[in-house]
Amino acid sequence: MPWGRADVKRSVTVVIPARYGSSRFPGKPLVNLMGKPMIQHVYEQAKACRVVDEVLVATDDERIQTAVERFGGKVVIMTEPYRTGTDRVAAVAQARGGDCYVDLQGDEILLHPDLITDLVEPFLASDAPMGTLKRQIESDQDLHNPGVVKVTTDRDGYALYFSRAPIPLVRDDPKRAAVPGLHFIHLGLYIYTRETLSRLTALPTGTLEEAEKLEQLRALEHGIRIRVWETAHQSVRIDSPDDVPGALEQLCGGTTSLGITQA
């Protein structure tokens, strides 16, 4: 029976991997943003998504566990040394069952919960084993920032490659400017079937994955196709302490969709 049949209901669980010991920003999930820890912003936006059945945080730290429980969120403690967030999500899926899992990075704050809808709905209507999202790059700075991951796809929307480099390179443009419809940011969330997660976690770390430090390249290196859909919804990514002021500015501008009221 094909997965894409509309009459087949598949459950969708969002897992938010949240480590305390980030090398660039220790304690990042607990940074205070407008009176809430960052992990709460991420969790609440996922919880507000109408196509999600369950949301939980997977963490290795009691401080994050306490913070999540304080705002009423679901959390599981996972202390094994998992290679990546994907491997952590796969362990949750193995323990809990269910059909489809969304891996939502704990530092990717959605400005509208329908950003997840833009991923989940087309995935459920497809037969793709794995999916993710892209958004058009709007600045040359993002194109050349190695902290911003770029993606390029084939004509059917399947990922050809993900990179921290500015791909594709427009050879004849000396300014190396971002081109509308050609350059896309890759967003930090994925959706998988449980079977795909199980397969991914059993695979060795790939050469490209190790070089770029991008876990999704493990799938491409081993022939797992990744369907990429485009979204217009915005999100806020925090990689280092230097990103916090800009993130606060973006969050203040997105208070309506975040459900935050200003005094």
Summarised one tens digit per residue, pLDDT across range 56-83 is 999 989 999 999 999 999 999 988 888 8
Give domain status of residue 3, yes or no: no
Averaged pLDDT score across all residues of the chain: 89
Q: What amino acid occupies position 187?
A: L
pLDDT at 20 over 70: yes
Torsion, Cα of 168, 169, 173, 177 (10° steps): 60
pLDDT at 254 over 90: no
Copy the structure tokens of residue 216: 């999704």
Instruction: Name the more confident of 83 and 135.
Output: 135
Residue that has been written with the tokens 């916090």 in this structure: 244
Tell me, what CATH number does 194's domain have? Answer: 3.90.550.10
Residue 181 domain-assigned?
yes
As beta bridge partners, residue 163 has: 150
- Which of 75-84, 205-214, 219-228 is least confident? 75-84
For residue 220, give its domain range: 12-243
Q: Is residue 257 part of a domain?
A: no
For residue 190, the cross-strand partners are 103, 132
Quote the number of domains for the chain: 1
pLDDT over threshold 90, residue 108: no
What pLDDT is attached to residue 7? 53
Quick one: tokens of 60? 């290795």
- For the stretch 110-122, pLDDT in tens is 889 999 999 999 9
User: 44: left (phi > 0), else alpha (psi -120 to 50), else beta?
Assistant: alpha
Residue 101 has pLDDT above 70, yes or no: yes
Beta bridge partners of 91: none
* 255, part of any domain: no
The pLDDT, as a whole number, for residue 248 is 84
Would 20 be classed as within a structural domain?
Answer: yes
Alpha carbon of residue 157 to chain centroid: 18
